[in-house]
Amino acid sequence: MSLSESSELQFTSDLRICRILNGMWQVSGAHGSIDPEKAVSSMFTYHDSGFITWDLADIYGPAENFVGEFRRKLVSARGTEALSNLQAFTKWVPHPGPITRRMVEESIALSLRRMNVETLDLLQFHWWDYQNNNYLNALNYLSELRDKGKIKNLGLTNFDTEHLKLFTDHGIKIVSNQVQFSLIDRRPEVNMIPYCKEHNIQLFTYGTLCGGLLSEKYLGQPEPRGYELNTASLGKYKQMIDAWGGWNLFQELLLTLKRIAAKHKVSIANVGTRYILDRPTVAGVIVGVRLGLTDHREDNAHVFDFKLDNEDYELIEAVLGKSRDLYGLIGDCGDEYR
């Protein structure tokens, strides 16, 4: 299996990425236990198939260590040149409070050691509490580390448009923001995307498949409850569906997506992913991987084999037009975390 050239994007001048990123949140423990040896072994299969870009965080359990071990084994088996087309984007998620230069330097140094790298391809900063404005100190110190070569590029995770503007106005160079974005949650289209277009900032999106709910598996099925929502993702995105319009409207959406998927000989997940990849400023969609347990590489590869046409968009918009306004209910990107 190999991906088409359309799967790649020149994200920055020094990073050419796969537009489907391997999301490592699912190794953090909230989706079942992961065997470290099997996990690292399966990373080879993703890499060799063209899924060369990984999304992780310092709080995703052993994710950074998995990347470090994978890099060591890749060099051992194939030489250092094998690292040239591998990217790993991590996050720093500190507890809100006083931030010192030493604290930032030690945190980034820890990620560098765990991942077995000399510089981070992309550091995505997250902050839980807007009332605590030490986030500006953190970003200033991170910018210093970027200028020293410890970080190649500086991005954000779950910041709203107001704060993204604040950072830009302070002269802090931000290349990306990671936000929730799907057919269910289209809040980024209100303010985030217009601002990013104006300031050449790109988006990485998660929740695009609603934790697996946006798939044939749930088409025509009764509303899942309780123990059936047995992962953190399923529980979270079922709540988003409830707020968006409920299970009956979601079934109408799945049925419409199935009709479109059958036309293009792809899956419902492919249609949902393609829709978001085609939105302005979206650099890539993050799809969770349960390393060593499940494998959706073949299905995900089909995302790059088709395009949605005007008829497809009309069918989708007819259903989405019946949903509630999540921006009005929840607020801008990331507001659900604060």
**CA dist., res. 45 & res. 35, Å (int):** 16
Average pLDDT over residues 1-15: 92
Retrieve residue 81's tokens: 């040149």
- Three-state secondary structure call for residue 149: coil
Architecture of the domain delimited by 7-337: Alpha-Beta Barrel (3.20)
Contacts of 80 (CB under 8 A, 6+ apart): none
Would you state the structure tokens that stand for residue 135, as one six-digit string? 């986030």
DSSP 4-59: -GGGEEEEETTEEEESEEEE-GGGSSBTB---HHHHHHHHHHHHHTT--EEE--TT
pLDDT in tens, 273-290: 999 999 999 999 999 998
Task: Say how many Å lie between the first and final Cα of the chain, rounded.
Answer: 42
Helix ranges (H only) for the chain are 36-48, 63-78, 101-115, 135-147, 161-169, 192-199, 232-244, 247-264, 268-277, 297-301, 310-320, 326-330
Return d(Cα 146, Cα 123) in angstroms, integer: 9
Which tens digits make up the pLDDT trace of 209-251?
A: 999 999 999 999 999 999 899 888 999 999 999 999 999 999 9
Nearest of 152, 267, 146 to residue 212 by alpha carbon: 267
Is pTM beyond 0.85 here?
yes
Classify burial at 227, counting beta carbons within 10 Å of its beta carbon; exposed 0-12, middle 13-18, buried 19 or more. Answer: exposed
Give per-residue pLDDT as tens, 87-121: 999 999 999 999 999 999 999 999 999 999 999 99
Q: What does the pLDDT look like over 121-173, one tens digit per residue?
A: 999 999 999 999 999 999 999 999 999 999 999 999 999 999 999 999 999 99
pLDDT at 230: 86
Structure confidence at residue 293 (pLDDT) = 77
* Residue 23, beta-bridge partner list: 55, 288
| CA atoms within 13 Å, Cβ hemisphere of 102 | 0
pLDDT at res. 30: 62
